[in-house]
Amino acid sequence: MRSRQIEAPAPVAMPLSVANPETDPYRLAPHRIRRCTFRRLIQVDAKNERVYDVECLFPDRKVPIPIGDLDTAMSVCNACTAAHIFRPDED
Protein backbone atom coordinates (compact mmCIF):
# COMPACT_ATOMS: atom_id res chain seq x y z
CA MET A 1 0.00 0.00 0.00
CA ARG A 2 1.05 3.44 -0.73
CA SER A 3 0.63 6.10 2.00
CA ARG A 4 -0.92 9.39 1.08
CA GLN A 5 0.52 12.62 2.29
CA ILE A 6 -2.11 15.00 3.56
CA GLU A 7 -1.25 18.60 2.92
CA ALA A 8 -2.42 21.32 5.27
CA PRO A 9 -4.77 23.77 3.56
CA ALA A 10 -3.26 27.10 2.66
CA PRO A 11 -4.41 29.92 4.94
CA VAL A 12 -7.01 32.13 3.29
CA ALA A 13 -6.78 35.13 5.56
CA MET A 14 -4.41 36.60 8.03
CA PRO A 15 -5.06 35.41 11.57
CA LEU A 16 -6.59 38.02 13.84
CA SER A 17 -4.58 39.09 16.80
CA VAL A 18 -6.41 39.51 20.05
CA ALA A 19 -5.95 42.99 21.48
CA ASN A 20 -4.86 43.25 25.06
CA PRO A 21 -7.64 45.20 26.84
CA GLU A 22 -5.10 46.74 29.23
CA THR A 23 -3.03 48.31 26.45
CA ASP A 24 -5.58 48.85 23.66
CA PRO A 25 -6.30 52.62 23.54
CA TYR A 26 -9.44 52.12 21.45
CA ARG A 27 -11.27 49.80 23.81
CA LEU A 28 -14.63 51.04 25.01
CA ALA A 29 -15.44 51.47 28.65
CA PRO A 30 -18.24 49.20 29.85
CA HIS A 31 -20.21 52.17 31.18
CA ARG A 32 -19.84 55.85 30.64
CA ILE A 33 -21.20 59.02 32.08
CA ARG A 34 -23.71 60.97 29.96
CA ARG A 35 -22.45 64.27 28.57
CA CYS A 36 -24.10 67.13 30.41
CA THR A 37 -23.91 70.90 29.97
CA PHE A 38 -24.05 71.50 33.75
CA ARG A 39 -21.29 69.15 34.89
CA ARG A 40 -17.80 70.34 35.78
CA LEU A 41 -14.77 68.04 35.98
CA ILE A 42 -11.85 69.04 38.16
CA GLN A 43 -8.56 67.21 37.66
CA VAL A 44 -7.05 66.01 40.91
CA ASP A 45 -3.28 65.70 41.18
CA ALA A 46 -2.56 61.98 41.42
CA LYS A 47 0.63 60.17 40.62
CA ASN A 48 0.45 58.26 37.29
CA GLU A 49 -3.38 58.37 37.19
CA ARG A 50 -6.06 60.56 35.70
CA VAL A 51 -8.43 61.30 38.58
CA TYR A 52 -11.30 63.79 38.41
CA ASP A 53 -13.75 65.20 40.91
CA VAL A 54 -17.20 65.98 39.54
CA GLU A 55 -19.45 68.90 40.41
CA CYS A 56 -23.00 69.56 39.24
CA LEU A 57 -23.93 73.16 38.43
CA PHE A 58 -27.63 72.51 37.83
CA PRO A 59 -29.93 74.57 37.93
CA ASP A 60 -28.37 78.04 38.01
CA ARG A 61 -24.62 77.43 37.44
CA LYS A 62 -23.84 79.51 40.56
CA VAL A 63 -23.42 76.97 43.34
CA PRO A 64 -21.55 73.75 42.49
CA ILE A 65 -22.73 70.57 44.17
CA PRO A 66 -19.83 68.12 44.69
CA ILE A 67 -20.79 64.62 43.53
CA GLY A 68 -17.50 62.79 44.05
CA ASP A 69 -15.18 61.03 41.65
CA LEU A 70 -16.18 59.80 38.18
CA ASP A 71 -17.28 56.37 39.42
CA THR A 72 -19.55 57.87 42.07
CA ALA A 73 -20.89 60.57 39.74
CA MET A 74 -21.73 58.08 37.00
CA SER A 75 -24.71 56.63 38.85
CA VAL A 76 -25.92 60.09 39.93
CA CYS A 77 -25.61 61.69 36.48
CA ASN A 78 -27.02 58.72 34.57
CA ALA A 79 -30.07 58.70 36.87
CA CYS A 80 -30.73 62.42 36.34
CA THR A 81 -34.23 63.12 34.98
CA ALA A 82 -33.58 66.65 33.69
CA ALA A 83 -33.36 65.51 30.06
CA HIS A 84 -32.93 69.01 28.65
CA ILE A 85 -29.47 69.39 30.22
CA PHE A 86 -27.87 66.53 28.29
CA ARG A 87 -26.25 67.09 24.93
CA PRO A 88 -28.60 66.35 21.99
CA ASP A 89 -26.59 63.33 20.87
CA GLU A 90 -27.12 61.70 24.30
CA ASP A 91 -30.94 61.58 24.26
Number of folded domains that form the chain: 1
Asked if the structure places residue 5 within a domain, the reply is: no
* Per-residue confidence (pLDDT) for residue 84, from 0 to 100: 84
* Per-residue confidence (pLDDT) for residue 7, from 0 to 100: 74
Rg (CA), the chain: 25
State which H helix or E strand residue 53 sits in: strand 51-56
Res 65 pLDDT > 90 = yes
Asked if the structure places residue 74 within a domain, the reply is: yes
Asked if the structure places residue 4 within a domain, the reply is: no
Asked if the structure places residue 34 within a domain, the reply is: no
CB 28 within 8 A of CB 21: no
Asked if the structure places residue 61 within a domain, the reply is: yes
Q: What is the pTM of this model?
A: 0.57
